[in-house]
Structure 1
Amino acid sequence: MKQNMIKFKTLALGLCTACVALTTGCSENEYAKINTDPSTIGEGNPIFLFTQEQVQYQPFDYLLWYYDGAYTSKLVQAYSPSTSFNDLYNKLAELGGVGSQLIYVKRYENDIKAAIAKMPADKAAQYSHLSAMANALSVYMGLFDTDLFGSRPYSETAQAKYGGTLTPNYESQEKLFEQWLTELNADLAKLKETNTQISVGDNDLAYGGDAKKWVKFINGIKLKIAARLLHQDKAKALKIAEEVGADDANVMQTITDDYVYNKGTGGDGGNNTYGTDNSVNLGTCSKNVIDFMRRNKDPRMLVMFTKNDFNSEVIQAFFDAQARGDNNCAIPKYILDQVNYTTDGSGHKHFTSWKGDGEPWVRYQGLPIGMTISEKAEYTGDNNYFVTTRWKVTDGDKSKTYSPLSYFNEELVRGRVDYTFPTAPKGKVVQDTEDNPLYEMTISTAEMNLYLAEFKLLGANLPHSAADYFKTGVEASAKAYSRLATLNKIPYYDKAHCNDKLDEPVTYNDAAIATMMAKADYQLTGNVASDLEKVYIQMYLHFFYQPLEQFVTVRRSGVPKVGSSLIPWVAMKPSTELPRRFYIAQPDPADKMRAIIEAAMTQQGFTFTDGQKPELLNSERVWYDKGAPNFGEGPNY
């Protein structure tokens, strides 16, 4: 697991030089300045501490993309390994940072609380809003940590600096949910206080200190908790949804309400600012997902995933190589079927145009979901998904290999990716090498409204129809993805960032969203079972950018489901052999937390194990997952 290690270096010469300076160059007054009584040292500025808390608010830490999200995305069939699934796909190896992210924000919240506690009452009252904002980030990250591990430390976390313990107690998921709901309601009460508040301004990286937007963010967390409560206390979950939905002022309405933030110079100038340096290890996009989005003209597909390499120039390069006698290279049939071309008297093919929807839609292809299908002729023949040597084109002394498939668009989560546009083997090298401090998004209008659509269908007394919430949520999701694509300047985001003469930008307008919304799969009809599946499919799609949220949604809903006409679940292994949480290894005997961790494991009915026993990680569920449907079975509320 990820380890945080501090390496101390001995700087002997520097220390000696410093000692000489102190013994020969300091007056009594200077010593007095150095030897300040610690009790008189001023507290940190709560506003600046809050900015640092936002900088440390990191649901997208770099290990998420390389380990944790890579596991969950494949388990829920959002992506496939490039060589297809094999018998080991349900086993977990190294884990990333999920489960240990709370402490990075909680320590700043504790510093903020301590600084405010030392203020006179009238001054402290001016920081009520800031205090609520700081606590909300801690609750969000606490929930993030508990989803895949169950009981976690919270109340006693990062308190040692203030006389607390170095061995914080683990709290059960059930108690954590109760605690967080209590804290969030207190935060909302603080944000309604009308006395003069300190101005946070641009030191709030997301909302500029706008209390109304923070009210919506906090209510968004309440809905996240409510959704997780459905299998344990449905009545309570519906009550929370009704509290939130009773007033539209509690609910995000447009993408300007979304929690979108850019750390810019507030970050560390490295991964914290630009996102991970590591490649995103999610796999190849699912053909089931791509096919669903393409037939419904869902424009989010254009920015969620990458265009494949087969533009008009590359296709012509294949035609030219074949005309030179290269019988090994071949354009996959599923791509060639979308190409209009002519053939001259010598048999030389010439690209003329795209068929069907044309650019950019024809450039997206997914990989079929299945076990060891890379060994089957139907996937390696004319419709070749796996034999990469046939995607290689040679022209004289120059060769290039091209991918016909689509992948997660890394530049949505990585600000320092150099993208090379596909060109013919002897074509010019064209790259996008611009670095951009990353814009990220967590709670959004889409998420909140899709939850409310779900709760309405499940019987909550809410002021709007499920169809209204659904429409607002899906439209907002589409607008949010286009916004992220533009802010992060992904390849092809505008015409200036295209290369091939037929390239079309991947961002889109309201008319494209309206076309999508007119499709039957994007409309609710009043059939509760059918409508619920549609809501969960839209959550599934929206959370492609947030793989752990996607996993939680699939785990609690059983959607995608087997036999669906929307996005079907492919049964490759018995559902009882698929992990539903992450593993916890036996602590070392010298670990001061050992007894606490063992007690928490016993309380939850968990067995210490590694990732090689997926059946244990399926049967020994976290508290709120008990009673939820198996993967692929559909909702069972």
Structure 2
Amino acid sequence: MKTFNKIIFSTSLLLLGGLTACDKQDFVDINVDPDALSSIPPENQFLNASRGIHGQDFEAFYDFYTRIMPWMQYATGVNGNQGAFTTNMSNFSSRYGALYSNGAQLYDIEKLVERMEADVQPRYVHMIRIARILKAYYAFYVSDIYGSIPYSEAFQARYGGTLTPAYDTQQALFARLDAEIKEAVSVLKQTQSAPQVTLGDYDGYYNGSSTQWVKAGNALRLKIALRQIKVDPSTATSIINEIVAMPETDLMTTQADGWVFTANQSFTSGGNWNPASLRATKPMVDFMYENKDPRLDAFVAPNTYTQANIDLLIADNQLPAGTTEASRRYLGSFTSPDQASSPAIKAQYYATRTVRSGDLSIVVDTLSYLQPRLFRPSETDANGVVGSGLVFIPVITYSEYCFMRAEIAARGIGSGTKDWYEKGVKSSIDWYDMIGIDSKLTNYTPVKEAEVEAYMQMPAVAFDASKALDQIASQAYLHFLKQPAEGWALWKRTGFPNATSSVMLPVLTNNNAVLTLPRRAPLSLLNENDQNYTNQKAAYDAMATLPGFGKDPQDATGRVWWDKP
């Protein structure tokens, strides 16, 4: 586990967001004049980029909380999903713009090293490759929902490159990223001629460990390959076979190998990170409760019908004498608008009671919310205590790696489906147990081994080869609560979960009409006055020929290249 020390956090605050300690002219100079960067250590740009990538609070609020989590039935609003909620795309996706600021900072590292004395440059070979892996990840993350994006010719404008970069098709981009990651991993494994300058505390993932970045790079190659398993199976299979044949030392084997950004509680303390309105959903909660999933209290907060609150309501004549606390206090919100708007359901589940306890006004609620400190560890608890736990933002956890290996084996590439599936489930429980403790979740009880073993024996969880892909995807879906964009991608790739899978997600309807879920980001409108209009229009026209692209570039129900109908 890694945390930035106070000195590094102070440094990052000075540098993050365009060197806020400098005056405005300095900021302008840095963006148009490469000489203005010459005094910045390369490792600072890595820190700035990684914090910028994971510090997207608009993405947290508008993409995750407001869009993807309700679409994928991880969360609803306070009163359940309402109306045609799948059609509202306002403010969706800030990741596109973030790529070209944070990607540029990662590219700066190479240019900063090039300006160093010749005898010093060999000490930064590993740092450059680590930066390339992170840049490749974020380019993949952006293209994942946009399709074609500028990459090969991007990030270079202030170093003499073009201001009108061509767009890489998603197919070409994925191939390029795979080659870049493969080269970076190869170099990271080599003994260099000079001792390497380590990123150390400037690396919020692995503290500068080249060995760990090898494992991260290979896991990323596996993830990108799986995206292509339907649209280009021969390429995907070739890459997968290459990776699974690698020595174990080059692959994730333990929880500690997971690619996870870690920071202190202040990192997500801003208002847009506030998860207070996120109801836990009925499909997810019902599955977890009925199967005694040990992650339940890490995912979900119990409702507020405690015996103490019930006694207050009795004293206030809102409940009859003798009312006692229910045995089940984990109840999820209805995900289909037609159910959430039903008068009977609204009266039974969405009506709250308010009662006073001294100077406090307490809202007593039947339904549960997601664990707030799972997303914002600084969240204040019921006693007014501000949280002080750590922030964990996963990129590729060991659990996800296990689920990828299980899926690959289930598809007939490699072997060990059951073993990898069980490793995935158990490591997911272990990972959320670690978060439960280190993020200091409220109402959380550490997991006992007996609970894990009992869960693994539940009929819906115990491995069944006849429904392997269903079980793997259903468990991966649960694991991706902290990565809802991956849950969305999983559903697009596999079709799971669905209305009949192990974790059952009901069909969403509004006024008896089935709602169609978005599958990609709506593309920005073309503007002939934009400097890069010609390249942008060419990319849009090419994407429009893809099967299922949609009626126009703004049609979010359309598909990108890898999302084969």
Mark yes or no: TM-score above 0.5: yes
Question: 2:500 corresponds to which residue?
Answer: 563
What amino acid is aligned across from residue 556 of structure 2 in structure 1?
A: L
Calculate the aligned-residue CA RMSD, in Å. Answer: 3.2
**Are residues 1:298 and 2:293 paired?**
yes
Higher mean C-alpha deviation, range 391-400 or range 62-71: 391-400
The answer for the alignment partner of 1:245 in structure 2 is 244
- Residue 334 of structure 2 corresponds to residue 368 of structure 1: yes
Amino acid at match of 2:306: N
d(CA) in 2 for partners of 1:38, 1:166? 15
The Cα shift of 1:85 comes to 3.3
- Matched length: 529
Q: Does 1:471 align with 2:422?
A: yes
Map 1:210-225; keep pairs closer than 5 Å.
210-225=209-224
- One-letter code aligned to 2:338: T
Which residue of structure 1 aligns with residue 260 of structure 2? Answer: 260
1:151 corresponds to 2:89? no
Kept in 1, the 8 Å contact 2:377–2:391? The answer is yes
After superposition, the C-alpha distances for 1:409-463 in whole angstroms (9 at most, x for unaligned) are 23223243222x2xxxxxxxx222144563322211001110110010001024x
Match of 2:40 among 39, 44, 51: 44
Residues 273 and 551 of structure 1: is their aligned pair in 2 closer, same or farther, counting only changes over 3 Å?
Answer: closer
- The offset of 1:112, in angstroms, is 1.2
Partner letter of residue 554 of structure 1? Answer: W
Structure 1 residue corresponding to 2:196, chosen from 198, 210, 216: 198
Tell me: CA distance 1:379–1:579, structure 2 relative to 1, closer, same or farther (3 Å). same
Aligned partner of 1:348 in structure 2 is: 321
Q: For residues 554-601 of structure 1, give each alpha carbon's deviation from its aligned partner in whole angstroms, at most 9, with x where no partner exists.
A: 111111222335324324277783321121231444322333222211
Determine if contact 1:274/1:437 at 8 Å carries over to the other structure.
no
Residues 1:313 and 2:308 are matched in the alignment: yes
* Identity among equivalent pairs (%): 25
Instruction: Name the structure 2 match of 1:386.
Output: 350
1:630 — aligned with what?
none
Q: Structure 1 307/395 Cα, relative in aligned 2: closer, same or farther at 3 Å? A: closer
CA distance in 1, matches of 2:34, 2:103: 23
Paired with 1:595 and 1:38, the residues of 2 have a C-alpha distance of 27
- List runs of 5+ in structure 1 lacking aligned partners: 12-36, 331-346, 356-361, 422-429, 493-504, 628-637
Q: Is the contact made by 1:157 and 1:168 (CA closer than 8 Å) also made in structure 2? A: yes
Q: CA deviation at 1:537?
A: 0.5
Residue 624 of structure 1 aligns with which residue? 562
Contact 1:392–1:401 (Cα < 8 Å) also in 2? yes
**Distance in 1 of aligned mates of 2:358 and 2:201:** 57
The one of 531, 537, 549 equivalent to 1:598 is: 537
Structure number with larger C-alpha Rg = 1
Counterpart for residue 526 of structure 1:
465
Give TM-score, length-normalised by structure 1. Answer: 0.76
Q: 1:118 to 1:394 in 2, by over 3 A?
A: closer
Question: 2:521 matched to 1:582?
Answer: yes
Contact 1:440 1:484 in 2 (8 A): no
1:561–1:138: structure 2 CA closer, same or farther, 3 Å change rule?
same
Deviations, residues 85-138 of structure 1 (Å, cap 9, x unaligned): 343212122224122222233222211111233446664333222111111111
1:205-238 Cα offsets, whole Å, 9 max, x none, are 2212222211111111111101110111123222
CA contact (8 A) 1:303 1:507 kept: no
Query: 2:162 is paired with a residue of what secondary structure?
Result: coil
What SS does the corresponding residue of 2:496 show, helix, strand or coil?
Answer: coil
> Separation in 2 of the partners of 1:62 and 1:202?
23
Give the deviation of 1:624 after TM superposition: 0.5
Residue 509 (structure 1) aligns with: 448
Paired position in structure 2 for 1:432? 385
Q: Tell me the SS of whatever aligns to 1:564.
A: coil
Match of 1:633 in 2: none
Distance 1:275 1:483 in 2: 23
Relative to structure 1, the CA distance from residue 273 to residue 561 in structure 2 (aligned partners, 3 Å threshold; closer, same or farther) is closer
Q: What runs of 5+ residues in structure 2 fail to find an aligned partner?
A: 1-15, 24-32
**Of residues 523, 535, 553 in structure 1, which corresponds to 2:490?**
553
2:83–2:337 Cα contact (<8 Å) kept: yes
| 8 Å Cα contact 1:53-1:134 kept in structure 2 | no
Which AA in structure 1 matches 2:331? Answer: Q
In 2: Cα distance, 1:579 partner to 1:410 partner: 26
Residues 1:456 and 2:401 are matched in the alignment = no
Report the alpha carbon displacement of residue 54 of structure 1 after superposing the two structures with TM: 2.6
- What is the DSSP-based 3-state SS (H/G/I as helix, E as strand, rest coil) of the residue aligned with 1:532? helix
Aligned-partner SS, 1:440: strand
Residue number among 89, 98, 103 corresponding to 2:95 in the alignment: 98
Cα distance change, pair 221–282 in 1 and its aligned pair in 2 (3 A): farther
Query: TM-score, structure 2 length as denominator?
Result: 0.85
Q: Secondary structure at the match of 1:182?
A: helix
Deviation track 1:287-314 (CA, whole Å, cap 9, x = no partner) reads 1110101122112221122222122211
Contact 1:540 1:550 in 2 (8 A): yes
Give distance in 2, aligned partners of 1:275 and 1:221: 30
Distance in 2 of aligned mates of 1:244 and 1:275: 40
- Where 1:393 maps in the other structure, the secondary structure is strand
Separation (CA, whole Å) in 1 of partners of 2:36 and 2:367: 62
